[in-house]
Every structure is written in C-alpha cells, then in structure tokens.
Amino acid sequence: MRRTFSASSFDANLPFRFEGKVHSIFSKALNIKIEQNELISIVAAEKLNGPNRILLQLPEDEDFFSFGIKKEARTVGTTQKISIDNGNFLISLREAKKWSPKIEIKGKTSSARVRDNLTFLSKSEERDNLFGSFLQKDFSTKQERNKKAPPITRGEPCFLTSFENNISQELRIRIQELTGSIKERDPSKISKKVKRLIGFGEGLTPSGDDFLVGLIVSLYFLNDSRFEHLSKKIKKVVELGKKRTTFLSEKFLEYACQGRFPETVLDLLETIFSGDSVGVKKAARRCLDFGATSGRDTLLGVVRGLDLIVQGPLFTDH
C-alpha cells in the first residue's frame, strides 16, 4: 500500500539529491544511510528538529513499524521529495519549513538561577513526576552490579545523584573518572577517559556516546575561555575515535563536534539558563522521551558539563 506524507520541517543543512538505504527503524524514527556516508533521519514531529532530520506528523494510531518499511529499502531524495521502497513511501518537501537552530546565551547569567533549575530536577517529588518508574529500573548487568562503584564525591551538587544513581555502575565509574581528570586538568588522563566512553554501552547509540554529546553541548554554548581548550581537546579525541562506535552514534558525535545539536537539547540548555522550573520540567521531559536511554544519558552529560563551569566568570549574582 502506497503512503504519502508532507514533511512539516527539515534541517536547513540537509543534503539533497541522494541515494541510500534504510539503516534502522524505530517506532518514531526511520534512519537512512546515504552514499556519501551521511545519515538522514525521518522523525515524528513531536521529537522536534535536529541535524539532518525531517519531521513528519504521523497519524495517532500509526508509527514507522506499521508502514511495513524494511531495512535496506532503496531510498532516493531530491529537493522536492524523498522516495522509499520504490515509491511505496513518499515524503513531499514542498511545503516543509527549513529549520536552523537558534540559541544564544548572551552576557552574564545568574548562577543562582542555574543551580535552582538543576536542583529542581533532583527534587524527589519532581523527579518522580518527570521520570516515573523509569528511575526504579536497574540498567546494570549482573557483572556490573557486583562491581562496587565509587560513591558520589562529598560536596558535589545534589542534582547529579538523581541521574547517576540510575545508570549502570560501570558507566558511572567511567563518567566520574573523566570528570575527575578534567578537574585535575590532566590532558593525558582526559584523552584516556574520553576514549573509554566512546562506544561504551549497548544499542545503536551507546550510553557513553550520548553522555559525551551532552557534555560537548554544555561546553559549546558557554563561551567560557577557561574551557575552550578542554572543549577542543574532547572534540579532537572524539573525532579520532568515533569510528569505534556504531554508525548512528558516530554521526551524532560528529554533529556535536560540528556544533549541531537536537532541538530538544538546545531547549533544555536555554531553559536551564533563562527559564523557570515549569520550562525546565517540560524540556527535560522531551529529552528523556528520546530513545530508550539516549535522552537520559545526554541529559546527564549536560548536567555534568554545567557542573564543571557553574562557578565560572560567565555567571554573576549581581
């Protein structure tokens, strides 16, 4: 059965006139690998815009699985439309809006506001409302549960614990090792610990990669000269090591290093810096709703990055 949709928006940097194949299919996303070794994602509109994304308004009772699209299905794209499976799934681009990310943190921001918004995410009652039973799930393997993880360092902001206590023990260890090396300002250790996160985890976007995306985005928009070298260092290591992970995750890391981020993450960062608890809650929900664990791990990366610079000269309480 032939299905035709009109895209609501697409990334302004989207490559056109391409040929490729369906790489992977999820309920709310369909990924295409094109000949130029690029990724194009066709995503349900509620997931918002992002690098090389095309948004579709799907019927309430349908998802991408229900369309019968198979992996490796031939895909052809032009400036007017995208044809999948020899035209059995067509997407018109004629009325779609071009999306370009717009976020800018100007001047100085109140450190109290940032701390309040981050702390809000960790309050038990709001945490339960945001995450529901998700926080009760143990993502560790049996081997990891038998390995004792280091406790949260005394004196660290409490908003970190609500995320870190619900990721795998081994991932938590690796994250703490990286942030510890950053605080020590040890370049060789930073490189080593970043490498240990690349490709670490299961699935098409491993948790270690998602964390690094969140860390990179938090450093990218702060324009703090103290962390410029750190940001460049992390991105260099990621660029050199990205082939060690999956194709999807490789592209997401590549986008992050280019300064291209999903709209959900940009909205979260903007609300943490300039919004109130209502806005932060809404933005956090959208992040967490992306993928099985990708949103959570990216969110943790954002929080960790902000923790590193919240005392910096960018902030003022005057």
Per residue in 215-254, pLDDT (tens digit) is 999 888 766 677 788 889 999 999 999 999 999 999 999 9
Domain residue spans in the chain? 3-99, 111-309
Q: Is the pLDDT of residue 148 over 80?
A: no
Res 247: pLDDT: 96
What's the pTM value of the predicted model, to 2 decimals?
Answer: 0.83
Q: Is the pLDDT of residue 136 over 70?
A: no
Res 100: pLDDT: 92
More confident residue, 252 or 106: 252
* CB-CB contact of 56 with 44 (8 Å): yes
How much is the CA Rg of the chain, to the nearest whole Å? 20
Res 128: pLDDT: 53
Q: Is the pLDDT of residue 168 over 90?
A: no
Q: What is the pLDDT confidence band of residue 123, given thresholds at 50, 70 and 90?
A: low
Pull the structure tokens for residue 204: 């098409």
Burial profile 102-138: b = 16 or more Cβ within 10 angstroms, e = fewer: eeeeeeebebebbbebbebbbeeebbeebbeeeeeee
Averaged pLDDT score across all residues of the chain: 82
